[in-house]
């Protein structure tokens, strides 16, 4: 069975910001150049209360983050310019 290719990638989504030296406070590790932050409001910490959502959590109770590779795809994609890519 063939799998469908995901056509909407993080790199083209308005919720995604690529890691840079500036937004990682100078800690842009080698190998993370194609990664970035996702700020979609469909992702929340600790409570599964949104359709098509993603829940993340941590063990220590500090803030957690969600990061993806630029080629990751998601059902919550929204294009960077007026909802289009």
The per-residue pLDDT for range 20-72, each reduced to its tens digit, is 877 777 777 777 788 898 888 887 666 667 676 777 767 676 766 678 899 98
Residue 17's CB is within 10 A of a number of other CB atoms, namely: 14
Question: What's this model's pTM, rounded to 2 decimal places?
Answer: 0.68
> What's the confidence (pLDDT) of residue 64?
67
Q: Would you say residue 14 has pLDDT above 70?
A: yes
Q: Which letter does DSSP use for residue 76 in this model?
A: T
Q: Is 3 helix (H, G, I), strand (E, B) or coil?
A: coil
Instruction: Kindly provide the residue ranges of all beta strands, DSSP E only, lying in the chain, ordered along the sequence.
Output: 16-18, 35-38, 43-45, 54-56, 67-69
DSSP-H helix ranges across the chain: none
Q: Is 10 helix (H, G, I), strand (E, B) or coil?
A: helix
């Amino acid at each position: 069975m063939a799998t469908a290719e995901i056509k909407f990638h993080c790199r083209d989504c308005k919720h995604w910001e690529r890691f840079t030296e500036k937004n990682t406070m100078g800690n842009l590790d080698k190998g993370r150049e194609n990664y970035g932050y996702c700020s979609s409001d469909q992702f929340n910490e600790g409570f599964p209360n949104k359709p098509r959502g993603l829940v993340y959590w941590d063990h220590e109770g500090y803030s957690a983050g969600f990061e993806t590779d630029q080629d990751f795809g998601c059902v919550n994609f929204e294009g960077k310019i007026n909802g289009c890519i």
